[in-house]
Amino acid sequence: MQAAQLATFRLPSIDNEPMRNYPPGSQDRIKLEATLKEMQEAGPFEVPVVINGQKIEDGNVAEQVMPANHKTVLARYREATPAQIDQAIAGALAAKEAWEVMPFSERAAVFLKAADLIAHKYRYKLMAATMLGQGKNAWQAEIDSAAEICDFFRFNCKYAEEMYAQQPPKNSAGVWNRSEYRPLDGFVFAVSPFNFTAIGGNLAGAPALMGNVVLWKPSPSAVYSNYIVFEILREAGLPDGVIQFVPGPAPEICERVLASPDFASLHFTGSTHVFKKLWKDIALNMDTYKSYPRIVGETGGKNFHMIHPSLEADDLRQAAIQTIRGAFEYQGQKCSACSRVYVPDTHFPQFKKFILEEHAKLTVGAPTEFQHFVGPVINRNAFDKVKGYINGAKTNENCEVLAGGKCDDSIGYYIHPTIIVTKDPKSPTMTEEIFGPVVTIYVYGSSDFKQTCKLLEETTPYALTGSLFARDRASIIEGTQLLRHAAGNFYINDKCTGAVVGQQPFGGGKASGTNDKAGSYTLLTRFVSARSIKENFLPLEGFSYPSNLV
């Protein structure tokens, strides 16, 4: 295969994918509704294991059900066996040589084309799969499976181009120095969560763009949308074997993958306890590996809104609206979701009034009924876990359930958006990641802002996202400084969710992850192993130094 030889080239201009609004009667709305209907009629869909471009359609079958209607199966997927994992690793390593020497312009073309296919040909299909399979409403599906995934694929190309352009600034006389950004020695293992179709695409796609080969294990609760992404990448020209699609039982697959001497990197997004376990497993296998594996993981959070005493009534209403969005959009199942709010006692009565007024406008229902802001949580485990937290709060003498609290799994996994107020800043719903539509308010003394910032930071091991609501510049400076290490993504007078690729690189510190910032240049640096090349043009006349002369 001979690729075009380009001494230099320019990527098309890279911008955020324009968002579409899906108002009633719009062409977008009509087409999305039609696709949802067709998909519901045509399912359940078969999802194979795909190794070296071959679809494997036998073996164990597992199901992905619709969270809004758990009796309906959206997809039946094959579970990769340990022997198939071995084949996937061998096939990926065989594909590595041709992929890593393919010029960057050609690799980038695959991802740029995939983004365009998603933005146009497959927009509604990928959105419908995300709405039905992961329980997102139209807007949440748009920002994830249309906009964010296009942004990841396109901005990664821009960041890679910038990285490759980083070359040694100096050359001595008769010497030419170059930096080559090689892929890692071995293969990358991408393990993705259920909650963002885009994150699955980025976990597999970002290392692949840099010339790596990847095994991609999707979440059981997002298999169908993730498979569509994989198929789009293949349609865009991704060669066989570069990404191997291996759904199936997580512990068995992970054990097999992490035992391979060629394992070079884990690219993980999911819960903190799983990430820690995988990190420990990698450490135990250290002597097996040919290189030091790069471990990249973004995990849980206990994200906050901190209300500063400087706020006035109008600002408080804003803070309440932003809290409703931050806590309840996508049912609180964003790693960035707001789940604790600190409100000064002087402001609480008004804040409470505003937030309850807004809460009363929320409706809960299936994503296919477009009017609902809140949909189902992802599965039975999530439903039981979130319900457990709500029931715990109902019986906790320090807690009062101000609104919501209803849980109904008769048709779908519905938890009504719940607001708790607690007298104990360390009560379970203030400290543990819930990953559901539950937010807890702690009322602090308005003269204790400084101590409350300290309390906020010490309350959990996480540091993912957080927002400060403050009126004047001095208060903004004060809060920003006091909360410096409380969040990897920090917002001022805005909700703590909704980071946009190319605008707010995303990731948290402390127990929330390695903070390599998805949607940024720094993430890509984790998937390359640079080679410094020095070429000498002039011969030496002899080995001795001038200083050897006497």
Ligand X SMILES: NC(=O)c1ccc[n+]([C@@H]2O[C@H](COP(=O)([O-])OP(=O)(O)OC[C@H]3O[C@@H](n4cnc5c(N)ncnc54)[C@H](O)[C@@H]3O)[C@@H](O)[C@H]2O)c1
Footprint of ligand A1AUG (CB under 6 A): 195-196, 334-336, 497-499, 506
Provide the minimum distance between the beta carbon of 494 and ligand A1AUG in the complex, in angstroms, as a whole number.
11
Provide the minimum distance between the beta carbon of 208 and ligand X in the complex, in angstroms, as a whole number.
17
User: Of the two residues 69 and 336, which places its CB atom closer to ligand A1AUG in the complex?
Assistant: 336
211 binds, among ligand X, ligand A1AUG, none (CB under 5 to 8 A by kind): none
User: Of the two residues 157 and 254, which places its CB atom closer to ligand X in the complex?
Assistant: 254
User: Of the two residues 121 and 276, which places its CB atom closer to ligand X in the complex?
Assistant: 276
390 binds, among ligand A1AUG, ligand X, none (CB under 5 to 8 A by kind): none
| Residues contacting residue 451 through CB under 8 Å, at least 6 positions apart | none
79 is catalytic: no
CA distances, 269 to each of 202, 300, 313 (Å): 10, 9, 39
Dihedral angle sign, alpha carbons of residues 470, 474, 477, 479: negative
User: Of the two residues 373 and 506, which places its CB atom closer to ligand A1AUG in the complex?
Assistant: 506
Can you point out the beta strands (E) in 186-283? Answer: 187-191, 213-217, 243-245, 263-269
* 78 HSE (CA, 13 A, CB side): 18
User: Of the two residues 82 and 498, which places its CB atom closer to ligand A1AUG in the complex?
Assistant: 498
254 binds, among ligand X, ligand A1AUG, none (CB under 5 to 8 A by kind): ligand X
What is the C-alpha separation between 495 and 254, in angstroms, rounded? Answer: 35
Which residues of this chain interact with ligand X, rule CB under 6 A?
191-196, 199, 217, 219-220, 250-251, 254, 269-271, 274, 277-278, 298-301, 335, 433, 435, 464, 506, 508, 512-513
Q: Which of 254, 335, 338, 399 is catalytic?
A: 335
Residue pair 412/67 in contact (Cβ under 8 Å)? The answer is yes
What is the C-alpha separation between 519 and 501, in angstroms, rounded? Answer: 5
| Residues contacting residue 219 through CB under 8 Å, at least 6 positions apart | 192, 193, 194, 200, 226, 270
Q: Which of 17, 142, 148, 298 is catalytic?
A: 298
Can you point out the beta strands (E) in 371-494? Answer: 399-403, 407-408, 414-415, 418-422, 438-444, 462-463, 465-469, 489-492
Provide the minimum distance between the beta carbon of 497 and ligand A1AUG in the complex, in angstroms, as a whole number.
4
Strand partners of residue 279:
none
212 binds, among ligand A1AUG, ligand X, none (CB under 5 to 8 A by kind): none
150 is catalytic: no
Provide the minimum distance between the beta carbon of 209 and ligand X in the complex, in angstroms, as a whole number.
19
Three-state SS for 340?
Answer: strand
Provide the minimum distance between the beta carbon of 20 and ligand A1AUG in the complex, in angstroms, as a whole number.
18
What is the C-alpha separation between 308 and 310, in angstroms, rounded? Answer: 5
User: Of the two residues 161 and 252, which places its CB atom closer to ligand X in the complex?
Assistant: 252
Give the CB-nearest residue to ligand A1AUG.
Answer: 499
Provide the minimum distance between the beta carbon of 271 and ligand A1AUG in the complex, in angstroms, as a whole number.
11
Tell me which residues are annotated as active site. 298, 335
